[in-house]
Structure formats: C-alpha cells, structure tokens
Amino acid sequence: MENISNPIALPGITYDSTQKLEELLKTNHAFHIYFDGIKHNHIAHNLIANYTLGASPEELQAVFDKHNKIQKPLLALNFDDPIHALGDPVTFAAHMGDGTYYSDYLAFFDHEIEKNGAYATFQTYYCGNGIIGAKMRFQSLSGVLHGLIHVGYGLETGHTLLMSEGLALCAVEHGDFDCTTATFTGVLFNRFDDEVHRDTPSASLLDVFQELHESKDILAPGSKINYTHDMALIGSADKSPIIEAICSKWQVKADAADIKDKLNELLSLSFHLYATTMHEYPAPHFDFFLMHALTSGYFIPLILSHIPTLELQATMLKVCCRWFAVCYIMTGLPEIHSHWLSQPIATPTTTSTFSWSDIIQHANKDGDAHVAKVIRSLIKLDILYGKEKQENPFLKVAQMTIGFRKLQDDDIKFAWLMTGIGYEK
C-alpha cells in the first residue's frame, strides 16, 4: 500500500503547466485571503488540485480567470515593520484571530520561510507547545477547516508562497468558538485529561457519529443552517459538554500503531460523511460542509507526518474528530447510510460508466471551485483502499459527483447543498 502521507502523483503534469502554475500562484499571492468579508480565496487550492490532475496551461488559466475577479487586494500593513513587530511573541499572539492583520502576518511568514524553510517554519509555529501553536491549530480548523487545508497544500508541494499564506490564515482566522466555554476545545488546549474512558475499549467513529445522530437535542432550532447562530449553540456551556462526552468515547493513544489505525478510521469517516449522507439516494446531491470533511481528510495524513511528537499527532486526530462532529451537527445530523456503498450505482446520467480518466477530464473542465478537490480526495482514497473491496466505493462516488454536476444547468448554479443536508425532507 502507498504511504498514507504521500501526495498523489498522476501523469499529465508538464513543464508548461508547471510554469503556468508558478506564474498564477505568484499573482494570487498579492490577493487578500478573504473576499466578501469572510469568504476564503480558493484560487491556490483550485490551481494545485487541477494541476495535479494533469490540467493543461489553458485549463489552469481558465480556473484563475473564473475566480480572480472577485478577489481583493492585500490590505495595507498595520505595522511599519511587521517582521520586527511580529517577531515579539506577545505582539504575535495579541493580534491573532484578526483578519485585518493578514498582510502583516503574510509579510512575517514570507520572511520566516525565506530564512528557515517552509517545513521548519510550519513546525515552529503550527506545532509549537505554547499558546501560539495551540491557537494556530484551533484557528486552522475554524472557518470550515480552510487554514488546515491551505497549510496542507503548502506541505504537499513545499511551495513557500502556499505555506506562508496558510500560516498567515491560521494566525488571523477568527475562531468559531469561545474556547473558555466550548468544552470540546479542551483537548486542543490541554485544559483537562480527556481520556475519561481509559478503562474501556475505544468506540468506533461510526458508532460515535450514530450516537450524535440520535442526539437531536444538540441541534439548533430551525430548518436550515444559520452559521453564526449554530456555532454559538454548538459551543455553548449547555450543548458542548454533550458533544465532548460523545466524542471522547473515540480514544487515540500516543502510539504509532494506534495513530495509524485511528487515522485510517478518520479518513473512512470523512468519506462516509460526504458519500452516504445524500438527501435522497440515488439522486446525487452532496452537502457543502460535509464535502469539506472529505477534502480536509486528504491533508490530515500530510500534516500528521510533519508533526514531531506522537502526543500531538494523537491530539490532532481527536481534535479533527470533534471538528467533523461540529460540521455534522451544523448540517442537521443527517443519517449515515453506509449500506449505500454496496449497492449498484444508479444516477440519472450516464456517468456510471465513467473511468477515472473520464472523471479527471470532467473535473479539469468544471468551473466549480471544489469539484477537482473532491475528485482528488477520492482518487487518494482509491489508491489507499480501492483494492480492498470488489465494489469500489470511491470510483462509484466519483462517478456520482460528476453526475451530480452534470445535473446542473450550468456552472454558475451552486453545486452543493448549503442549507444542511440533514434538514432536507
């Protein structure tokens, strides 16, 4: 089996596509990480995903042209000398979580990475033992895991601009929760010993999420997602202890063998959350937020492979479990239909006959910001686990994803359900 932390490597990457990618990443580095207030600049994510799937220079340029019009220029610096100012840990910590300081942190990390390298800078700031490291990790998971995903691209490629952007985003992303109230953040900030079930075997992740599914009292009142309100309720002193009590039943030891087993289990969960929660099988309609669980899962092995201690690796797995739980609750606790994966595929399109080559060609031409990333994540899972079952679920779900897109009248419409798949009737 391929090393689980290796990025995928497919044929089709050329000198010309590499030069085009480098040109576009440099142009994108001059954009703000946010547009429209809090929405994230995805251009680098899209470019890398399509590039690794063998996109041509023309296809890469089309990706950039589609998404660059909505981007914003970098904000003016707050500090005259951000490299000196943010070199002070007190000043660095004081402005974390404030998106208006992104340009300052970007300049700081550009300098740090030029001096020390991308991987060393990641370990110093993201993997640190103090409050800065803990907040970087916490904020990387906020905003639907975008910071984790962006530093993951930096680790995958070793590209200095991507790593600088990712670390700067982790520094300024506003936390989704008040960490003094949201009980399930305690494992990240080492506020308590979370192994309350140390004398009993670990529950499976699917069992944990089945228990969450049955705990309807943790849902926010309403019939669709209200992000700000839902996060406030999930992180409240009333609801968050219930979530922590359930999630803590999934235990991870600071042991290499257990970490490997639990990582495999977490990746399986990320696939189930995307693939088996559709509103009405076999009508392929996938949830926007649970889709991010799948695409972030691509990077969790990469990130763990660069975390220097088993203790922190185990902690990150437990934390990712809790953030997947947050996404699951926010989307209305949809039922996880694992049995769907063993059923013959049935879609209203002809994509059930598509090969991986067909799927990749469609993904590279799709105008949506997430399709290529989803397909790449499914390819990675197929490489790791596709030979284990006669009925290949990863190819099946990739076929359904492309079929789902072909149901759209055009690429302007939203491809993903944004209101919470669990609320659909």
CA distance 52 to 273: 24
Tokens of 309: 């201690």
Max Cα distance, the chain (Å): 62
What was the pLDDT predicted at 349?
61
Bridge partners of 417? 287
Which of 125-139, 180-194, 315-329, 365-379 comes out lowest in average pLDDT? 180-194
Q: How confident is the model at residue 283 (pLDDT cuts 50, 70, 90)?
A: low
What was the pLDDT predicted at 191?
59
Regarding predicted confidence, which is higher, 339 or 78? 78
Bridge partners of 34? 40
Phi first, then psi, for residue 287 (nearest 5°) are -85, 135
The alpha carbon dihedral of 361, 365, 367, 370 has a sign of positive
Contacts of 54 (CB under 8 A, 6+ apart): 10, 11, 12, 13, 17, 360, 364
Tell me which residue of 307, 332, 308 sits closest to 320, measured CA to CA.
307
Phi first, then psi, for residue 362 (nearest 5°) are -65, -40
Q: What is the pLDDT of residues 213-257, one digit of tens each?
A: 999 999 988 888 999 999 999 999 999 999 999 999 999 999 999
Residues 224-250 as b or e (16 or more Cβ within 10 Å = b)? ebbeeebbbbbbbeebbebbbebbbbb
Q: Is the pLDDT of residue 350 over 90?
A: no
- Do 250 and 196 form a contact (C-beta atoms < 8 A)? no
Tokens of 117: 């390298």
Q: What is the dihedral of CA 325, 407, 363, 279, to 10 degrees?
A: 10
Contacts of 75 (CB under 8 A, 6+ apart): 32, 100, 102, 103
CA distance 169 to 103: 10
Length of the chain: 425
Q: What is the pLDDT of residues 123-182, one digit of tens each?
A: 999 999 999 999 999 999 999 999 999 999 999 999 999 999 999 999 999 999 998 899
What was the pLDDT predicted at 344?
67
Q: Is the pLDDT of residue 425 over 80?
A: no
SS (HEC) of the chain: CCCCCCCCCCCCCCHHHHHHHHHHHHHHCCECCEECCCEECCHHHHHHHHHHCCCCHHHHHHHHHHHHHHCCECCCCCCCCHHHHCCCHHHHHHCCCCHHHHHHHHHHHHHHHHHHCHHHHHHHHCCCCCHHHHHHHHHHHHHHHHHHHHHHHHHHHCCHHHHHHHHHHHHHCCCCCCCCCCHHHHHHHCCCCCCCCCCCCCCCHHHHHHHHHHCHHHCCCCCCCCHHHHHHHHCCCCCHHHHHHHHCCCCCCCCHHHHHHHHHHHHHHHHHHHHCCCCECCECCCEHHHHHHHHHHCCHHHHHHCCCCHHHHHHHHHHHHHHHHHHHHHCCCCCCCHHHHHCCCCCCCCHHHCCHHHHHHHHHHCCCCCHHHHHHHHHHHHHHHHHHCCCCHHHHHHHHHHHHHHCCCCCCCCCCECCCHHHCC
Which of 30-39, 297-306, 344-353, 363-372 comes out lowest in average pLDDT? 344-353
**∠ CA 383-5-323 to the nearest 5 degrees?**
100
Q: Is the pLDDT of residue 38 over 90?
A: no
Q: How confident is the model at residue 2 (pLDDT cuts 50, 70, 90)?
A: very low
Q: Is the pLDDT of residue 306 over 90?
A: yes
What was the pLDDT predicted at 388?
80
- Do 144 and 327 form a contact (C-beta atoms < 8 A)? yes
- Residue 56: exposure state from Cβ atoms within 10 A (0-12, 13-18, ≥19): middle
Contacts of 11 (CB under 8 A, 6+ apart): 54
What was the pLDDT predicted at 1?
35
What was the pLDDT predicted at 179?
87
Average pLDDT in the 251-268 region?
Answer: 97
Q: What is the pLDDT of residues 67-123, one digit of tens each?
A: 999 999 999 999 999 999 999 999 999 999 999 999 999 999 999 999 999 999 999
CA distance 364 to 63: 9
